[in-house]
Amino acid sequence: MTQPFGRVIDGKAVAAELRRDVARDVAELVASGCQPGLAVILMGIDPASQVYVRNKAKQTREVGMASFEHRLPATARQTELLSLVQQLNNDPAVHGILVQLPLPGHIDERIVLRAIDPAKDVDGFHPLNAGLLAGGGGGLVPCTPLGSMILLRSVRPGLRGAHAVVLGRSNIVGKPIAQLLLAADCTVTVAHSKTERLPDICRQADFLIAAIGRPEMIQGDWIKAGAIVIDVGINRVPTVDGKTRLVGDVAFEDARQRAFAITPVPGGVGPMTIACLLRNTLQAARSQSGGSILSSAGKSLP
Ligand SMILES: Nc1nc(=O)c2c([nH]1)NC[C@@H]1CN(c3ccc(C(=O)N[C@@H](CCC(=O)O)C(=O)O)cc3)C=[N+]21
Ligand SMILES: [Mg+2]
């Protein structure tokens, strides 16, 4: 093999570039009289969630959008959450709505996600947007899958015919990534916690997308030589000195020895998720200030 190995994909840099593009388009939209607005609902006081929400609000303002934050106590009733969603659906200053997941146990997540106006559903979790994605595009695409595809394309622009293995089948990551890879003409295998002979399946992957939520589960010798590894996992693990650190689903250093390119954690997919949220909010604001939700139907998926 003459190809270089072990390239680390700089998600922070790609995300910063994407936010610059978004900021430029936001300025244009603002000049034409519409400032995109993103509303985030945080229920409860999960410390990790608080950090994400704070980062999101900061970056939203940095690209020139309005940021609205709504906090509800963990004990609030579902009807209270639903009426807040309704209020934001009807607020013309709000173009994007994100309800931070997971929600407390007494809340039915599916009911809440279905209550969000699909045109404002910048997470892309509403069944209408999931259906549009399955049909080949046109709606809002979930942020982590979108960001993962942009990182994959940053090292391999043409994906056609390659074997992509997606580990994980969640509605928010695994399934939508599989749809995007299919739309990009990959051959797609979706594996999960019940899959037999998982290491063998991983070894067949030209692109390995890890979204299984188990710290460093994917070993170096599961990686095909020259593969591209996109690590979606963000796991907080204890260290010997009693602190915590973030690791992905992939044993990074070992996998790096065999991979052509790999995303780190932190600094890989995470920053792209937030950048894509801003991109989706821009798209939502554009279609609400003129076009229909299907206005981008002619656009190809990433
Ligand atoms: N409705 C909803 N939509 C989400 O998109 C959503 C959610 N709920 N709930 C929680 C998860 C998690 N999530 C992250 C986004 C960015 C980073 C991120 O930027 N991480 C940094 C590190 C941050 C740190 O140091 O803690 C990185 O990977 O480099 C992490 C996690 C979005 N989520
Ligand atoms: Mg990351």
Q: Higher model confidence: residue 236 or residue 291?
A: 236
Q: Cα(63)–Cα(59) distance, rounded to whole angstroms? A: 6
Smallest-distance ligand from the CA of 102? 1
Contact present, 38 and 96 (Cβ < 8 Å): yes
Q: What is the pLDDT of residues 102-119, one digit of tens each?
A: 999 999 999 999 999 999
Take atom 31 of ligand 1 and give the residue whose Cα is closest: 270
CB-defined site of ligand 1, < 6 Å:
51-52, 98-101, 123, 143, 234, 246, 265-267, 270-271, 273-274
Q: Name which residue sits closest to atom 12 of ligand 1, judged by CA.
A: 52
Residue 3: pLDDT band (50, 70, 90) is: low
Q: Are strands 66-72 and 37-43 parallel, antiparallel or unpaired?
A: parallel
234 is annotated as contributing to ligand binding: yes
Report pLDDT digits (tens) over 133-189.
Answer: 999 889 999 999 999 999 999 999 999 999 999 999 999 999 999 999 999 999 999
Q: Which ligand is nearest to the CA of 250?
A: 2
Closest CA to 150 of 268, 20, 23, 293: 268
Is the pTM value of this prediction over 0.80? yes
- Predicted pLDDT of residue 291: 54
Three-class secondary structure of residue 147 per DSSP: helix
pLDDT at 290: 79
Annotated binding residue 169:
yes
CATH topology of domain 142-271: Rossmann fold (3.40.50)
Is residue 177 annotated as involved in ligand binding? no
Predicted confidence at residue 153, as pLDDT, reads: 98
Would you name the residues annotated as active-site residues?
Answer: 56, 100, 123
* Pick from 71, 67, 130: nearest CA to 100: 71
Query: CB-based burial of residue 39 (10 Å sphere; 0-12 exposed, 13-18 middle, 19+ buried)?
Result: buried
Q: Taking the domains of the chain in order of start, what are their residue ranges?
A: 32-138, 142-271
> E-assigned strands of 52-167?
66-72, 96-99, 163-167
**CATH class, range 32-138:** alpha beta
Q: pLDDT tens digit string along 40-78?
A: 999 987 777 877 888 899 999 999 999 999 999 999 999
Q: Quick check: 25 pLDDT over 50?
A: yes
Ligand 1 atom closest to the CA of 99, numbered from 1 = 1
Q: Do domains 32-138 and 142-271 have the same CATH topology?
A: yes
Ligand 2 centroid to Cα of residue 93, in Å, is 31
Strand 163-167 versus strand 207-210 pairing type: parallel
Q: Match 């065999």 to its residue by tokens.
A: 258
Contacts of 146 (CB under 8 A, 6+ apart): 124, 180, 272, 276, 279, 280, 302
